[in-house]
Amino acid sequence: MDLSERKLKILQAIVGDFIRTAEPIGSRTLSKKYDMGISSATIRNEMSDLEELGFLSHPHTSAGRVPSDKAYRLYVNSLMEKRTLTKQEKEFISKKLTNNVSELEKTIQCAARLLSEITQLTSFALTPNQNEDKLKYINILPVDSSTVVMMIVAESGKVSNTTLRLIVPYSEDRLELLSKSMTYYYKGKTLSEMLKVDIIKNFKTDIVALSRLAENIMPNFLHILEGMLDVNLYMDGYTNIFSFPEYNDIVKAKMFLEMVNQKDIFTNILINRDNGMIVTIGNENADNHMQECSLITASYHIDGKLLGKLGVIGPTRMKYDEVISVIELMTENLSESFKLTGGNEENE
Amino acid sequence: MDLSERKLKILQAIVGDFIRTAEPIGSRTLSKKYDMGISSATIRNEMSDLEELGFLSHPHTSAGRVPSDKAYRLYVNSLMEKRTLTKQEKEFISKKLTNNVSELEKTIQCAARLLSEITQLTSFALTPNQNEDKLKYINILPVDSSTVVMMIVAESGKVSNTTLRLIVPYSEDRLELLSKSMTYYYKGKTLSEMLKVDIIKNFKTDIVALSRLAENIMPNFLHILEGMLDVNLYMDGYTNIFSFPEYNDIVKAKMFLEMVNQKDIFTNILINRDNGMIVTIGNENADNHMQECSLITASYHIDGKLLGKLGVIGPTRMKYDEVISVIELMTENLSESFKLTGGNEENE
DNA sequence: GGTTAGCACTCACTGGGTGCGAGTGCTAAC
DNA sequence: GTTAGCACTCGCACCCAGTGAGTGCTAACC
């Protein structure tokens, strides 16, 4: 199954050209464009072999050849020359990303936008999964006679707060006691562990005096915890798909847009993907509606722990070399900037 | 310029039919479908008059008539019968909206989704403009030796917090003093007033002992304030546009999607619109790319003060009666539920 | 045996031609 | 003022032939 040097060269030329032009590549075109020292007839024979091996296909008898998913896979794995970004490009990216780094969610959103601008594809960024994040403290502060703010601070620096209107009376002392007790009780537990414990029951028995207040607050507490565990998906560049001639078909464009707009499904696919740089091409994607797309994701981390994801989705005919390099650089930049500034972030 | 009863009836029939079918309406079709007691020839004469008056137009000589923007305007203003929603529909909407009312942003996001589901159009919801919201208090809390959480609470109940990494040392006392001083200084000022004051300068002179700490915190403070003033735009149902045959043209679909995806521009258009139920049809829209669209917005309020907006955008051929009724009901519901639960919200 | 020139063949695409049908505008009669 | 009748218009679907890019095969060449 090892291909000859010449076959590889031909395949590389076809994939490269097709990525650029979206037109099926003919043998004569190839022989004229690249001086390989062989005639179009010879190229035809080689192409025929490559087709038999599953690397190329024919839209119809009298058309040129089109690379298959298998060909793209070979291209990505070994034929493709990794694109090294210029210093300007690198600086541009890191400048844009470190600009307003003080807010995690906004930086991630900004990364998605930047990625779609550079690659001209549909991009997405997933905020970190906070499952393993541990509780630092809980603070309940008075706002007015019936309103309090509940604030949950995690070790990563993530903060969540919610304004609650209470139906039972409270005093500042009691609020403070409740905050302290809850902090004492949960400190060091991960957020998902906290969700699993039957909080209300435990509190009822432990701190009887506060039970009514606690009963009022606890359901909200659970709700906030759930909100903290949610990952957010930011997407950008939906309409970039229109610049690909293969999506000039209204039905195809519609299907693509409907797919990427089903955020719940899409988020799930992303969450369940392995970490690191992952490229899945066409039929390698499990999802039915993604059989004509390639999905590239990479993960970034915060203090080496919480993992979020960043990537693009587009037609299988995409500039893999460029896109991979850009995503690589961006995830590095993100991880770096989150490490340096620590938890300097605004939460949701 | 007053139209005869008969002309109005014909016009109403044409607009109604065209909204349903998207097909130009012919005189014979009309005479067969509606028993008006006049022949197709008479209808043709009336149609010809209506065309001269600018209410109808001809795609080409041998096609039926299509309503103009002027006709839609007349239809919306006087011909249309207001659609009264059934009890089931009303209950469905209010149930969906009050479901997770504890979080303002999420409720608004949910409203946008619901609206696009019901109307099958592209919907949007704008979070309230917080310009007039006044400061309640500022609280800066320690997280670890170099990290603090800054929390800004507004009178409406809106809370914003940001984790800051400080480069100067601090003590709990100093943080508390700074919080108290800032609160004292800004309490009762609106958020936009706070932005305008040269905060750093004032603080340098007022509280000399804390100047270094304040200097470190102030730029972030400004940044958070700006974030609190930002309105958020939630949109949903982008791909609904594909269900309209007039957008089967890939160029049109692309233009529409690119327009609504330019969130900055779109947000601006929405912010600058009058409050209350506003319908702009086709060329009544100032924006160039909206000449073939109708935009319907209504505003909801919170405690009778902060105004947000909710609405839809779609082809001029839309079910105005139904859409207007739904939006009306939803804004009422939103205003109501925000009033009842007060500031029971989670901020961003 | 690999390589190449030559040639017949395939097939999408384009553009002109045609018939159909829905609909109009006009006219003359009611 | 209303209506029937009729010529006319024009988009649309369909057919058909010409074009051109590209293939597959064969026979000759190195």
What mean pLDDT comes out for the span B286-305? 91
Q: How far is residue A326's CA from residue A333's CA, in Å, rounded to a whole number?
A: 10
CA B76 to C1' D16, in angstroms, rounded, equals 50
**Contact flag, residue B41 CB and nucleic strand D, below 7 A:** yes
Report how far apart the first and last C-alpha atoms of chain A are (Å, whole number). 52
In this prediction, residue A253 has a pLDDT band, given cuts at 50, 70 and 90, of: very high
- B103 to chain A, any CB pair closer than 8 A? The answer is yes
In this prediction, residue B344 has a pLDDT band, given cuts at 50, 70 and 90, of: very low
Say if CB B34 and CB B78 are below 8 A apart: no
**Contact flag, residue B24 CB and nucleic strand C, below 7 A:** yes
Closest CA to A34 of A43, A44, A22: A43
| pLDDT greater at residue B271 or residue B201 | B271
pLDDT over threshold 50, residue B345: no
Q: How far is CA A299 from CA A16, A284, A340, in A?
A: 27, 20, 18
CA A42 to C1' D25, in angstroms, rounded, equals 13
- pLDDT for B101: 42
CA B41 to C1' C23, in angstroms, rounded, equals 11
Say if CB B230 and CB B173 are below 8 A apart: no
In this prediction, residue A228 has a pLDDT band, given cuts at 50, 70 and 90, of: confident
Q: How far is CA A2 from CA A263, B2, B38, in A?
A: 41, 83, 81
pLDDT over threshold 60, residue A292: yes
| Contact (CB<8Å) A220/B102 | yes
Domain B135-229 falls under CATH 3.30.390.60: yes
- pLDDT for B129: 83
The fraction of chain B above a pLDDT of 70, given in percent, is 91
Of A16-30, A40-54, A129-143, B161-175, which gets the smallest average pLDDT?
B161-175
| pLDDT greater at residue B97 or residue B69 | B69
Say if CB A228 and CB A154 are below 8 A apart: yes
What mean pLDDT comes out for the span B129-133? 83
Closest CA to B286 of B299, B273, B297: B273
Give the number of other Cβ atoms within 10 Å of residue A335's Cβ.
18
Fold of B5-79: Arc Repressor Mutant, subunit A (1.10.10)
**Contact flag, residue B10 CB and nucleic strand C, below 7 A:** no
Domain B87-129+231-340 falls under CATH 3.30.450.40: yes
**Tens digits of per-residue pLDDT, B255-268?**
999 999 999 999 99
Q: How far is CA A199 from CA A109, A217, A218, B122, B204, in A?
A: 34, 11, 7, 41, 46
Please report where in the chains the tokens 């690249």 appear, as a residue.
A34
What mean pLDDT comes out for the span A197-208? 63
- pLDDT for B209: 59
Say if CB A255 and CB A44 are below 8 A apart: no
Mutate to test the interface with A, among B163, B179, B248 (most CBs of A within 10 A): B163
Nucleotides on chain D within 7 angstroms of protein Cβ: 2-5, 8-11, 20-26
Q: How far is residue A281's CA from residue A111's CA, in Å, rounded to a whole number?
A: 23
Minimum CA–C1' distance nucleotide for A37: C3
Minimum CA–C1' distance nucleotide for B25: C23
What mean pLDDT comes out for the span B275-286? 96
| Contact (CB<8Å) A159/B163 | yes
SS3 per residue for B84-137: CCCHHHHHHHHHHHHCCCCCHHHHHHHHHHHHHHHHCCEEEEECCCCCCCEEEE
Nucleotides on chain C within 7 angstroms of protein Cβ: 3-6, 9-12, 21-27
| Contact (CB<8Å) A163/B344 | yes
Q: In angstroms, how far apart are the furthest CA atoms of chain B?
A: 92
Closest CA to B138 of B229, B225, B210: B225
What mean pLDDT comes out for the span A152-181? 82
In this prediction, residue A50 has a pLDDT band, given cuts at 50, 70 and 90, of: very high
Report the top-level CATH class of A87-129+232-340. Answer: alpha beta
Mutate to test the interface with A, among B100, B104, B149 (most CBs of A within 10 A): B149
Closest CA to A68 of A294, A298, A297: A294
Q: What residues does each domain of chain A span?
A: 5-79, 87-129+232-340, 135-229
pLDDT over threshold 90, residue B71: yes
pLDDT over threshold 50, residue B185: yes
Give me the DSSP letters along A204-240.
HHH-GGGHHHHHHHHHHHHHHHHHHH---EEEE-GGG
What mean pLDDT comes out for the span B173-181? 87
- pLDDT for B1: 57
**Contact flag, residue A57 CB and nucleic strand D, below 7 A:** no
Q: Residue closest to C9, CA→C1'?
A: A62
pLDDT over threshold 70, residue A343: no
- pLDDT for A299: 95
**Contact flag, residue B61 CB and nucleic strand D, below 7 A:** yes
- 10 Å CB burial of residue A227 (0-12, 13-18, 19+) is middle
| pLDDT greater at residue A72 or residue B171 | A72
**Contact flag, residue B22 CB and nucleic strand D, below 7 A:** no
The fraction of chain A above a pLDDT of 90, given in percent, is 53
- pLDDT for B53: 94
Return the residue of A nearest to B155 by Cα. Answer: A143
Q: Residue closest to D4, CA→C1'?
A: B41
Q: How far is CA A326 from CA A245, A269, A297, A337, B42, in A?
A: 23, 22, 11, 16, 68
| Contact (CB<8Å) B254/A238 | no
- pLDDT for B342: 42
- 10 Å CB burial of residue A193 (0-12, 13-18, 19+) is middle
| Contact (CB<8Å) A143/B163 | no
Closest CA to A298 of A157, A103, A123: A123
Question: Token pair for residue B124?
Answer: 């949007």
B 114-153 residues with CB < 8 A to A: 136, 139, 141, 143, 146-147, 149, 151, 153
Minimum CA–C1' distance nucleotide for A26: D22
- B271 to chain A, any CB pair closer than 8 A? The answer is no
- pLDDT for B261: 94
Question: Token pair for residue B105?
Answer: 């942003």
Please report where in the chains the tokens 């209300």 appear, as a residue.
A200
Mutate to test the interface with A, among B346, B347, B348 (most CBs of A within 10 A): B346
**Contact flag, residue B145 CB and nucleic strand C, below 7 A:** no
- pLDDT for A342: 42
Return the H-helix or E-strand segment holding A6: helix A5-21
**Contact flag, residue A189 CB and nucleic strand D, below 7 A:** no
Cβ-based contacts (< 7 Å) between B 53-82 and strand C? 58, 61-65
Q: State how far residue B70 is from chain A, nearest Cα, in angstroms.
A: 31
Quick one: chain B helix, strand, coil %, rounded to 5?
55, 20, 30
Give the number of other Cβ atoms within 10 Å of residue A43's Cβ.
24
